Amino acid sequence: MRQKAYNSVAALINAGTKLSAGAETHATSLDLVVGSKSVIDSDLNGLTTTTAAHLAGKSLLRNRWTALEQATNAAYGVALNIRDTLKRALGSSYSSAWEGTGFSASLIISRSVARLENQLRSLKGYLADHADLEVPTFATSALADAALDALTIANTAVTVQKGAVRSLLAARKLKEKAMRQRIRGVVEELTRVIGGLDGRWDSFGLNQPDLKQTPPRPVNVSVAVIGNNGVVKWDKVARASYHRVWVKIVGVDEEALPAGNSTDNNFTFENLAPNTQFEVAVSALNNGGESARSAVVVFQTA
């Protein structure tokens, strides 16, 4: 049976944990080197540590995005108050009188951080040069400056943390790679020292290489009643070593019972009781286990 695919970090950590448990039990007796507990735990601890750091970094980045959103809203409010105050002196529509205020072609206040920073920077300078147009505690150069600083600091914090998260992700991916290589190495080492059908593979959380994958459930089961016999047939099942036929006598049995096995894709019930209803299902088996049963087929003897 092929080894499992670990498609998430959580699955890889779980695999490493099982690998460590197997090493604790068998590494010494098997004289494992690649599969020793110490080296497995080193890779596992590296992966869990970098994973936790990456998750913490992402959480901090979310907080910084929230802070930036709040700073943007606050800065927008300051710019809005200043614009509405200036309308009294410069007019309610854009004109050449608004030149130098940071507005261009319209009086729209941008929600873009970069553009909003530029508008606040211009408004700060404009009010510093036209102090007579300021309204204390509502529309001043100092308020524009404070809003600009808060916005810039919050935006910079996001930029810095985005870079940190990228670095943390890169570090985690390196540890993921190391853990995957460790698992492959243990598989190769175990292949050399124990057989492909050995329960010790399970102790490491690994599949036994010579154990087949469980067959799929049989399909297209049919029953032909010939005299007092019932001939059951079904499509060939991939990977099946043999099949088990299940039967329930309606009105007699509480549940289906195994009636027999077949290495072919057919089975015959002989000397069935007359005027009796039966339910039949088929499962497929190999050394990897037993499939789910097929859909139930009902038939009745004459």
> Which residues of the chain, if any, have pLDDT below 70?
none
Query: Token pair of 145, please?
Result: 């400056």
Question: What does DSSP assign to residue 151?
Answer: H
- Domain residue ranges of the chain, discontinuous segments joined by +: 1-211, 222-300
Please answer whether residues 280 and 270 qualify as being in contact, where contact means their C-beta atoms are separated by less than 8 angstroms. no
Provide the pLDDT for residue 288: 85
**CB-CB contact of 200 with 26 (8 Å):** yes
Residue with tokens 């039967």: 247
| Contacts of residue 238, Cβ cutoff 8 Å, sequence gap at least 6 | 215, 216
pLDDT at 2: 87
CATH superfamily of 222-300: Immunoglobulins (2.60.40.10)
pLDDT at 212: 86
Q: What share of the chain is helix, strand, coil (3-state, %, to 5)?
A: 50, 15, 35
pLDDT at residue 161 in the model: 98
Structure tokens belonging to residue 301: 């003897």
Alpha helices in 130-264 (DSSP H): 141-193, 200-203
Contact 138, 85 (CB under 8 A): yes
CB-hemisphere CA count at 13 Å for 146?
Answer: 10
How many residues would you count in the chain? 302
What is the pLDDT at residue 211? 86
Whose structure tokens read 């404070």? 146
How far is 234 from 247, CA to CA, in rounded Å? 15
Distances in Å between the alpha carbon of 244 and those of 1, 191, 212, 261? 22, 32, 17, 4
pLDDT value at residue 106:
96
Instruction: For 130-161, write each residue's pLDDT tens digit.
Output: 999 999 999 999 999 999 999 999 999 999 99
Q: What is the pLDDT of residues 255-273, one digit of tens each?
A: 999 999 999 999 999 999 9
Which of helix, strand or coil describes residue 261? Answer: strand
